[in-house]
Amino acid sequence: QKEVEQDPGPLSVPEGAIVSLNCTYSNSAFQYFMWYRQYSRKGPELLMYTYSSGNKEDGRFTAQVDKSSKYISLFIRDSQPSDSATYLCAMGKAAGNKLTFGGGTRVLVKP
């Protein structure tokens, strides 16, 4: 079993809809959590970074962490065609330690 599980999709939504993405993990040692967005054949770019359980909002993006359930989510409100990309979750156990990535979810936002 992988340490981090993420549905590969694709997840197809109409423009303006809410996109809901999630990852589950098995190791309670993970302390901080990130979401990256990756356009086709490009490097991932950091979207959200959270350390504690709860919600963090940045513009149209909300990251949610539930450490008791070992479950993290990313919500994208008012989705745009430019949000079409692969979204990768990543998590780390401690500062200075390497990150563990999910496999990524491909999202398609149709005009």
Partner 1 sequence: DGGITQSPKYLFRKEGQNVTLSCEQNLNHDAMYWYRQDPGQGLRLIYYSQIVNDFQKGDIAEGYSVSREKKESFPLTVTSAQKNPTAFYLCASSPLDSTNEKLFFGSGTQLSVL
| Residue ranges binding partner 1 (CB under 8 A) | 2, 4, 6, 8, 32, 34, 41-46, 49, 88, 90, 92, 95-104
Task: Provide, rounded to whole angstroms, the least separation between the CB of residue 101 and partner 1.
Answer: 4
Nearer CB in complex with partner 1: 96/111:
96
Nearer CB in complex with partner 1: 84/87:
87
How far from 20 is each of 29, 41, 97, 99, CA to CA, in Å? 25, 23, 28, 23
Contact 75, 18 (CB under 8 A): yes
